[in-house]
Amino acid sequence: MLTDPTFMLSMTQNYNHYHIALYVFLAIGILITLGAFFGCCGVCRESQCLLVSVSEKCSKVLS
């Protein structure tokens, strides 16, 4: 297998890609945390409206 020893060096010189990926993963994590929080609140309060809203949002995201 041939390897390019300068590949990792060229990838690490552009930090802009790391910052973009950091913000994307941070946003995804915040959205997942908020969805889980509202789902737990809906279960604890036994709120049918909140549970339906959370389940609809989850089904839209997964499809």
Residue 47: DSSP 8-state: -
pTM for this predicted structure: 0.63
Q: State what percent of residues in the chain have pLDDT above 70.
A: 75
Residue 27 has pLDDT above 90, yes or no: yes
Spatial CA neighbour of 50 closest among 59, 37, 38: 38
* Average pLDDT, integer, range 3-30: 76
User: CB of 41 within 8 A of CB of 47?
Assistant: yes
| Residue 13 DSSP SS3 | coil
User: CB of 36 within 8 A of CB of 58?
Assistant: no
- Where exactly are the structural domains of the chain? 39-63
- Summarised one tens digit per residue, pLDDT across range 40-62 is 888 888 888 888 888 888 888 88
